[in-house]
Structures are given as structure tokens and as C-alpha cells.
Structure 1
Amino acid sequence: MKTMDMFTGSSGSKRINEDPCIPISGSINNGAKKIRTDRRLDEEVSKVIHIRNLPADATENEVIQLGLNFGKVTNLLMLKGKNQAFLEMESEEIAQQMVEDCSVSPPTIRQRIMYIQFSNHKELKTDNSPNQQKVQAVLQAMQQTEGGPNHVLRVVVENMLYPITLDILHTIFTKFGIVLKTITFTKNNQFQALIQMGDAVQSQTAKLSLDGQNIYNGCCTLRIEFSKLEALNVKYNNDKSRDYTRNDLPSGENAILSTPTSFQSILGGTSSSLMPSPVPNHAATIAAALQQSQMSLSSGSVLKSASVAAQLAALVSGQQMPNSGNSVLHVSNLNEGVITPQMIFMLFGVYGDVIRVKILYQRKNTSLVQMSDSTQAQLAIKHLNGVKFFGRMLQVVLSRHAQVQMPKDGQDVENLTQDYTNSNLHRFKKPGSKNFQNIFPPSEVLHLSNIPAEVSEEFLKETFSNYGTVVGFKFFQKDRRMALIQLSNVEEAVKCLVMLHNLKLSDTNHLRVSFSKSLI
């Protein structure tokens, strides 16, 4: 059967131009035409997934990775002229899980929201063209895990001014091949990583291109050599290790990665403490810049592209890089009877520096939030989309607006638009701030700091009980200026953070509140 035959289902009707079906109440305004938000009840389950709204330069690797987050992918057909693709999963159960999860939290590639639905086709029947042979080779490489000689790279980051995350490493190394697994650790106070590529050619290309390069601002220098290991044994998918071929691994919170004997010998001991995984502003912006364009290799440089040369200066020459991408968020399903711009500022300020907030006059359950850069906007989407905020489940996507416009004098009588450009409550103004190391999803446990000595546990518990039920509290043993407080659920903790961050405790102390990954 020819490739074009698969565009028509068994019923003979075309499905290519159907609107995507995303089961989220309300409408999503991300600059695209309005889409239906109800799933068709008669939609049949199929192991073939239809993906729409792909970026024009989306690669096979990126589309396959969408599917690998849910299970094994057996086939792919790219329709680049239509910005679409078909993914065939190993089973209908895997496909159904993917459609359901992506309906609640739509995936993105380079900040474009993907529309995911079942295809009318029960399987993909593709030809043996050179392009399809390439696709099959990529599929096989991305899903093989046995490894081999020179498949694993050992990466040391020298002069590390800012923390480096798994996501940043993945973004950089995927430009040279397929990253299957990554383990990060520290040894002799140096951040290191083991990265298993798809094959020896890919790892060699990455080593030759990246060894000796700076990640950003003339620091975080990559030193790369081949590891003695042929494959990595990743037991946990968390901020320290990741197996990109499996999504069923536990997070292993608060656990130390147990390693095979050969890995222990490389570390020089039976175990190694693992580096926490903060998401620094500038470093993560580099990752976003790398994701925004197809890069071509160039001798003497990491990656090169005329359209993003300025953004990648931090990688090739250590220059400061500007922001890239859209930094304005469209936030809907707000509780219009309660929410103020200041509350939105406080909540979104956990994940970036909020520049402006605008609650829409005609739809007060909707707001535009302008972050300092596109990376912070993506962080806010990742952590706040779907979070319950004063009784409503937030819907957070990128807006079609490039910035939030301030109203003319006299037009905003309700003060629905606020400018926070010069706010002293911005958490990420200083490069290298410890706040970069404390970005966590909303949780029922809050981290409190800047507590004066005269403030008691009883006072703090009583203050927080005004907005929720306090179920746990403890001061830090080595530093009584900090404490952990636990509310009965995440929604109460979110409310407490919004209402009590920057609470004046004395003439010189204002309370600092953030989400914690620790338990009491």
C-alpha cells in the first residue's frame, strides 16, 4: 500500500482536517484557531496516534520521543508539509494512555502545543522509501538499550558557575544523536554525568564536537571522554538519572542510586552523593534556545545556526545571550471572585520573575502573565498547569501575545493590570542565586526562611492555619531562621504561599515562602 493510502480511514472519510479533541473545560487561546474541547464519544481507540500542529522543523527524533514517554513506538509517518505525524504504538493500551494524558496536559515541541488524538487507522502501512528506511533506523536506535563499546560518554563540567540539569544535557547532546540514558553525580566536588548515546558513531560525534566547549557565559566547560561502561543501568527516573526509553521507572525520591560494580569503581567508592537538579535561569534558557532551531555542525563550535547565533553565543564564545521565544502566558479558569493580580504575581513568581499581570476585563477568570523570559514561562506551564488555585483547576498555556500592554491612563479603573518590572520580590534577579536550586512543583510542604529569633512555632502555625490545616512543623536544627511547615493538601499550601510570602515578621525581616520537596 502506498503511503498516501493511509490518509483515508475505513469509512472513506478524511480525518486530516478534523479539529483536535482535548477534554479540558473552557477554551484555550494560544494564538491558534478555536478548538473543540470535548472528546468525541464515538472516537474509536487505535494504536495509531494522530499528531497535529507540529513545528515546520520538527524532527523524527522529537516526534518519536513524544511516544516513547508512554511506551514502545513501532512505526512513524511524518507529514511535514501538513505539520502532522502518525505514530503507531505497540498496543492500544499504550496509545490510549498517551491520548488521555496528552488531553489533560498537551505536550509541546519548541513551545508549540501538540494536538493528540486517535487515528482512524488500526496500523501504519508505509513503503520502503529511503526516508522510511531512515525512520525505521531512528526508531531502532532510540529503543535499543543493550549498548556497546564507546556508547557511553563520561562528562565532567569544570568551572561550574551555575548548576547543570538533566534537561540541559539532554538538549545539547540530542543534537548529535539519540540520548538513551543519563546518570548525574558529583565526585571530588565536580559535577559529572554518564550519557549513553544510540551508538558509537553518535557518541564519537558528540565527543569531538562538544569536548572543551563552554555551556554559557565563559564557564561550565565540558570535558568529555569515553566511559569504560558499555551500557547504563538506570533504576530511577528523577532529577539525577533518566532512562528515556522507559517511563515506568519509579522516581526513587530521597534514594541514593545503587550502581553496578563497574560504575562504583569509576566513582572510586561504593556510593556517591548525587547533585541536586536545580533549573538555573540562564542555563535553562540555553536549552530553550537550542530547542528553537535546527542546528548544523561546524568545526570549532558546538552548534551553529544563523537564526540563533546570538542566543548560542554562550555556547560558542561565552557571550551573554538574550531571551528567546514567547514569555507571555494565558491563564484561564481563575476564581474571578477572589483572584487579584498580586495573587497571580506571587504564585507565578515561584517559577520566574513576573513582569506584568493583566486580568481580562471582559473575562475576569482569565489572565495574561508576562514572565522575564521564555524558559521561565515554560517552567510555569510545567508546574502550574492543572494546579488547584482557590478552588479552580488552572489552565496555563502560551499566549499569542508577545507582551502585556499597559492600559492608557484612566482606562483601568479596577486596577486589573499591574506592572511588576521593578518589584523587589523577584526571586531570580541575581545570577547564581540559591533560588535557582529550589524550584520544585507545588507540594503540601512549604519551606520558610528569614524567620527572626523572636518568632515562635506557635505563631507561625497559627498564622498559616488562617489559610489551611497545619499538620506538621519543624525548625531546621542547624539554622532556626528556616523551617518546614506542612498543610493538609497542595491547594492549601498554594494558598498559604500566595497569601503569606513576604509577610512582615519584624522591622527587618519579611517571611520567604517556597515549595519544598522535603518531608516532615
Structure 2
Amino acid sequence: MSSTSGQPQFRYTQTPSKVLHLRNLPWECTDEELVELCKPFGKIVNTKCNVGANRNQAFVEFSDLNQAISMVSYYASSSEPAQVRGKTVYIQYSNRQEIVNNKSSGDVAGNVLLVTIEGVEAGDVSIDVIHLVFSAFGFVHKIATFEKAAGFQALIQFTDAETAASARNALDGRSIPRYLLPEHITSCHLRISYSAHTDLNIKFQSHRSRDYTNPYLPVNPSAIEGTLQPTLGPDGKKKEPESNVLLASIENLQYAVTVDVIHTVFSAFGTVQKIAMFEKNGGMQALVQYTDVTTAAVAKEALEGHCIYDGGYCTW
């Protein structure tokens, strides 16, 4: 069953849950509107509105699993899609079995998130990957990573609690995309809670900590390199692990370099899926994602050390 827009309204392969995940809701949809849509199918015990970067998603928890199943089944077979304020709403089972109240004891919303990255060791997930994932929800001020008994963790500071909440709601329980992880990592789940910190104290830019608000912060060279033993190539030089994501540092910056400029340059070698730009140590950097490792390797070989503009301005 597809909606009139051509998008699938349901995912049949999901495990049923008494919590339903609703997408494509109108802006600032209210709890009352959600209850009105869902109450014909059973008792609603909890809701969570305005989730996600665009605040157009929500979760609804029924008191009984069969009630959630009946709602999904009804709209899967109905010629009329679920709608709120005339917008078609896409419904699927949540990967959670209950809605956890963000304001529970010891979990008061703040602007700093405590992220536990399960299934990995320090060094498996770089700080640049963490920055890329969480920057989708707003400006990341600072990141500090460390190892605890609970595993590899990171503190991530946003501008405000609202931005942090949108990142937490969207990413808690999810996995970092597979293409951003080393090949030997098969599973990597994020467990996210709020930290009591409000402003992280970052002393150095390194592979363990970054302050994206202070380009003049000193760099710790040994920390940037990390403590892992490098892989050596046949020529005895350090060999970088291959990836379909390139990290481009733009030097000798004389003209503006935008996402469009980077897309134009890197698209010459293959389809560019994603681009993320950020400032680091006073310079401009970009993460450029291709569909495969081979295309990324060709682009790296062709572009490294070359100029974007005639006259020698802006080198990679």
C-alpha cells in the first residue's frame, strides 16, 4: 500500500511495538492532535511530539500492543491515508517498546549530551565522524571523548537544550551509518543521556577533544596523531585506512569556498552523496562522501595538493 505521494506509508519488516513512530507531521503538531488521530484504536498512555531536526515527527505509545497493530493494519489496508491538518502521515513501528520521559530523575534536559558508543573501542570512531553525525541537528560547540567502564563515550555540547534534545530524540538507540565505520565494526549503537555539564573545558584540539568555537586553541600534535600504531605501506611510510569518505583540508584560502564549489570539484570523479564543511584550527575542512572506496581513492590521488582556482589559491 502506497500513499498518494508515492512514498511507502509502512514498513512491513519491522517488529511490532506498542510505540508507533509518526513522520511528516505538520509543524508544531500537538499532543492533542496525535491523540485525536490514534484514540479510535485504543488507549494512548504517552506521546512525544516535535521530534527530529525538522520537528515533524512524533511517537505515540498505546497501552497494549494489539492496539498499535490494529492502527498500523487499518491504515495499511485503507485507501485513505492517515492525515493531520490535511498532511499525509507515515506510520511505522518504533524500535522502542516504551516512551521514556526525558525529565525522569537524573535525566534533566541540558545542552550537553553524554553519548555511549556501544560495540566499538577508542579509535574505531573518529571525532570527525561524531561531529558529522551530530552536526545534522545544529551547531556543535565542543566534543570530548574518553573511555570509561561503560565503554567509549563522548560529551557533545550544543548551543541550547532544545538542539540537544532534537539530536537525542533522533539518535538515541540508533546506529552510526555503516559507511562511516571501519570494516571490522559490524554494530555500533548510540545510547544518549543528558550530562550535568553546561560548558566543556577543552584545553587542546586533538583526536580526543575539539572546540569548534575557538580556532586559536593550541593543537596537541601527539594527540592529533593518536596513540594507535600506524599501518605502514610497502614504501615504509604511514598508510591511511581507505574509506569512501575523504577529509579535505583547504589551505591558502583567498576566495570563498562553498559547498557548491566543493561539490563541483569532487563530482568530476563520481557521485558525491554528502558534504559537510567545518572550521578547524583556523582553517576550512570538508568531509566528502562518495558511494565507494575506489571513487574516493581516485579523487584523492587526483586532487591532493592541487589548486581550486587558477593562480595557486586554495590548495587541498
Quickly name the TM-score band, shorter chain normalised. Answer: 0.3 to 0.5
Largest Rg, 1 or 2: 1
More strand by share: 2
Q: Which has the higher contact order (CA 8 A, sep 6+)?
A: 2
